[in-house]
Amino acid sequence: SVKSLFMQQIVAICGTHPPGAETLYLDIANIVAKKKEKGGECMLYLDGFQKVTSLLESGAVSIYKVALYELLSLIGLDRSDYDQAAQLMKAREIMFERYPNLKWIAVTDGPNTAYLFHNISLTGSCEKSIWKYNVKQLQKEEVVNPIGAGDTVGGVMMAKFLENGDMPMAFRWGLSAATAKCKLPSAGGIFNGDDLEECLMQTEVH
């Protein structure tokens, strides 16, 4: 039940939102907010971009994973003609300005470079706020089924984050697991451990 969310450390809302789901999602956001107000630890993770404006505006979302084209569409930027670095920095600025309670934004782009942004204004520190990930590149014949790779990123990333609280490291694990998953025919987040280790070793973080 929705009330059982009070017992959770992280609550995840993922995928395409079905009609009528907005009310439920806002109820979840309110519960997470109330738990925080009472001094409880609970983070709301969001993976989606359709009909998520109200959810982001609620201030309850702490972690937002989004594909590059979805992010640009969400804030009204055109992906067809852009300097990736400039557009990403602009998107980062807009997102943290619009949604100041957002702590992390993880941006994926299939097999291309991924980015992790940290809203350091929430901590007032001068720590690092941008990470760039060059993921292991698979050969065309190695890619068996990419369906479910995005969900694999989120699932593994959140599991590792719960384990040690290190988001930059957790995102690296999520990206590596997603790459390894593409080598298998299953649609779910299933991957081979050896493939994961290889992908981890060949994923560069800057």
What proportion of the chain, given as a percentage, has pLDDT over 90? Answer: 59
C-alpha pair distances (Å), 70 with each of 12, 39, 64, 137, 184 = 18, 33, 12, 22, 26
| Residue 7 confidence (pLDDT) | 62
Strands (E), the chain: 10-14, 43-47, 61-67, 104-108, 114-118, 130-134, 204-205
Q: Kindly indicate the confidence band of residue 184, based on its pLDDT and cuts at 50, 70 and 90.
A: very high
Question: Quick one: which of 75, 83, 154, 84 has its CA closest to 113?
Answer: 84
**DSSP bridge pairs for 11:** 44
> What CA–CA distance (Å, rounded) separates 206 from 131?
6
Average pLDDT over residues 15-23: 79
Q: Are 203 and 171 in contact (CB under 8 A)?
A: no
| Residue 156 confidence (pLDDT) | 95
Q: Which residue do the tokens 């080598």 mark?
A: 183
Which SS3 state, helix, strand or coil, does residue 175 take? Answer: helix
DSSP letter assigned to residue 135: P
What pTM, to 2 d.p., does this model score? Answer: 0.92
Q: Kindly indicate the confidence band of residue 157, based on its pLDDT and cuts at 50, 70 and 90.
A: very high
Residue 112 tokens, joined:
């291309």
Question: What residues contact residue 202 under an 8 Å CB cut-off, 6+ apart?
Answer: 136
C-alpha pair distances (Å), 206 with each of 100, 144, 154, 165 = 25, 29, 20, 19
| Residue 86 confidence (pLDDT) | 83
Query: Which one has a higher pLDDT value, 42 or 204?
Result: 204
Q: Kindly indicate the confidence band of residue 186, based on its pLDDT and cuts at 50, 70 and 90.
A: confident
Average pLDDT over residues 99-121: 94
**DSSP bridge pairs for 13:** 46
pLDDT of 143 > 90? The answer is yes
> What CA–CA distance (Å, rounded) separates 196 from 81?
34
pLDDT of 2 > 80? The answer is no
